[in-house]
């Protein structure tokens, strides 16, 4: 079975058939506790539902397969819960290097909360490998955390090179791969030790589940600590969410490929738009990270892009208010296209320019998406 293509295994959620009914869709396991064997053991391996739930394990098996993760995958209550579990599995006093341009919620947590946990955190432009090399401290740095493509500028970090730099310093590399998805990039095969996703985004794809996942290349003290952290703190995913995620992932490949193709077409058309100053998308040859992206992403460059408008902040906020088809909301990766003025939500300290609109491309008709955006941008200059 394992020599089948990932899209085959994902479409059938690993081909699981319910042994009791022969159902092609697995049941949702809701039990919190399981019966002991006559000999006082637990031969099923299921003891109590905080760590042990079959619906969760079935979704984790799909994720471990997608990420080519020999040590397996772990689901969490959210992407943030997954990311924070990694940092809280380090020891107070440990040094961490993280991308400066990254998901704002995690950057805020690292800047304001991780230090209360005793971690020392340095932010660096991780697409600049010399800067990354200068930021790691051999023997002291325990973890390098990168996001690629990174929110909301879609800068690209070379995963293989970052892994070499981290490992040479005795540190591990973790990659937030939410915006690449396992369809386009498998960081563990490029040398990363951990990969993290907000499964609330394209993995589930329907904007109706909050979930997070970590997957590991090998068993290690850190991976054991992460498992214990989830188990003990209980940052687990509920069985209904795990079921919805597993259902959503069955169409991951068709959604992701369609969304990436549409994002690429929009990026190309918007580049020629007279009121667009710059399009940020790693699929464009003029994007500074394009060559690295072409090497480490396959089958597309993702569903996320940003545009900077010649009219500045007022034009950007105005255009986001005028769209009719695009939905003006935060988040990303769903089948419906979303637009957001990021600087408004990220607040002070954000590296996001104020003239920037972030676009999450859904599965709607690409022409409709372009026309709606074009009309909303042009209406600003007539106003």
Asked if 230 is part of the footprint of ligand PLP (rule: CB under 6 A), the reply reads no
CB 52 within 8 Å of CB 206: no
Rounded Cα gap, residues 121 and 95, in angstroms: 6
Nearer to ligand PLP, 145 or 326 (CB): 145
User: Distance between CA atoms of 290 and 121, rounded to whole angstroms?
Assistant: 28
Residue 148 Cβ vs ligand PLP, minimum distance, rounded to whole Å? 10
- Least distance to ligand PLP from the beta carbon of 177, Å? 8
Residue 176 in the binding site for ligand PLP (CB under 6 A): yes
Asked if residue 155 binds ligand PLP (CB under 6 A), the reply is no
14 versus 332: smaller Cβ distance to ligand PLP: 332
Least gap, CB of 176 to ligand PLP (angstroms): 5
Please report whether residue 340 would count as binding ligand PLP according to CB under 6 A: no
- Annotation says 227 is catalytic: no
For this structure, is 176 an active site residue?
yes
Asked if residue 151 binds ligand PLP (CB under 6 A), the reply is: yes
Give yes or no for a contact between 136 and 97, defined as CB atoms under 8 angstroms apart: yes
Measure CA 59 to chain center: 16
Q: Count the site residues for ligand PLP by CB under 6 A.
A: 17
DSSP 81-136: HHHHHHHHTSPTT-EEEEESSS-HHHHHHHHHTTTTTT-EEEEE-TTSHHHHHHH-
User: Cα 58 to chain center, whole Å?
Assistant: 20
Min dist CB 371 to ligand PLP, Å, is: 27
Binder to ligand PLP among 69, 74, 80, 174 (CB under 6 A)?
A: 80
Q: Smallest gap, in angstroms, from Cβ of residue 37 to ligand PLP?
A: 38
Q: Which of 178, 181, 204, 207 binds ligand PLP (CB under 6 A)?
A: 178
| Token pair belonging to 179 | 């915006």
Cβ 69 vs Cβ 75: under 8 Å: no
As a whole number of angstroms, the distance between CA 8 and CA 288 comes to: 34
> CA angle at residue 346 from 342 to 348, to 5 degrees?
125
- Check if 7 is active-site: no
The piece of 127-135, 158-166, 175-183, 317-325 that touches ligand PLP (CB under 6 A) is 175-183
Give the interface segment with ligand PLP, choosing from 76-84, 249-257, 283-291, 372-380 (CB under 6 A). 76-84
Closest to ligand PLP by CB, 9 or 82: 82
Tell me if the bond preceding 152 is cis, omega within 30° of 0: yes
User: Within 10 A of 251 (CB to CB), how many other CB atoms are there?
Assistant: 16
361 binds ligand PLP (CB under 6 A): no
Q: Catalytic residue numbers?
A: 50, 103, 176, 201
- Where do contacts with ligand PLP occur on this chain (CB under 6 A)? 78-80, 103, 105-106, 147, 151, 176, 178-179, 198, 200-201, 210, 212, 332
């Amino acid at each position: 079975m394992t020599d089948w293509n990932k899209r085959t295994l994902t479409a059938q959620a690993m081909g699981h058939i319910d042994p009791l009914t022969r159902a092609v869709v697995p049941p949702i396991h809701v039990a919190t506790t399981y019966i002991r064997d006559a000999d006082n053991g637990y031969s099923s391996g299921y003891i109590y539902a905080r760590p042990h739930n079959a619906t969760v394990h079935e979704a984790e098996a799909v994720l471990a397969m997608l990420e080519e993760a020999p040590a397996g995958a772990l689901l969490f209550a959210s992407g943030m819960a997954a990311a924070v579990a990694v940092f809280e599995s380090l020891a107070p006093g440990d040094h961490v290097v993280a991308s400066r341009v990254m998901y704002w919620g995690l950057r805020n947590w690292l800047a304001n909360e991780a230090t209360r946990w005793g971690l020392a955190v340095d932010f660096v432009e991780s697409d600049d490998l010399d800067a990354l090399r200068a930021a790691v401290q051999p023997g002291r740095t325990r973890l390098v955390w990168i996001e690629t493509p990174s929110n909301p500028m879609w800068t690209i970090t070379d995963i293989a090179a970052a892994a070499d730099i981290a490992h040479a310093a005795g540190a591990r590399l973790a990659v937030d791969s939410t915006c690449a998805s396992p369809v386009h990039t498998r960081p563990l095969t490029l040398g990363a030790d951990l990969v993290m996703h907000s499964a609330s985004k394209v993995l589930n794809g329907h904007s109706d589940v909050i979930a997070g996942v970590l997957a590991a290349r090998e068993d290690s003290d850190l991976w054991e600590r992460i498992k214990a952290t989830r188990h003990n703190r209980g940052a687990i995913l509920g069985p209904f969410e795990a079921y919805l995620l597993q259902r959503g992932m069955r169409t991951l490949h068709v959604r992701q490929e369609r969304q990436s193709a549409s994002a690429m077409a929009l990026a190309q058309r918007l580049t020629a738009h007279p009121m667009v100053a710059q399009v940020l998308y790693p699929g464009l040859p003029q994007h500074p990270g394009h060559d690295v992206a072409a090497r480490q992403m396959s089958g597309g460059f993702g569903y996320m892009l940003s545009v900077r408008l010649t009219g500045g902040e007022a034009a950007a906020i105005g255009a986001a208010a005028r769209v009719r088809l695009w939905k003006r909301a935060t988040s990303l990766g769903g089948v419906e296209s979303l637009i957001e003025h990021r600087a408004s939500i990220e607040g002070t300290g954000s590296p996001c320019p104020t003239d920037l609109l972030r676009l999450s491309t859904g599965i709607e008709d690409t022409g409709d998406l372009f026309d709606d955006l074009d009309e909303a941008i042009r209406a600003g200059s007539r106003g």
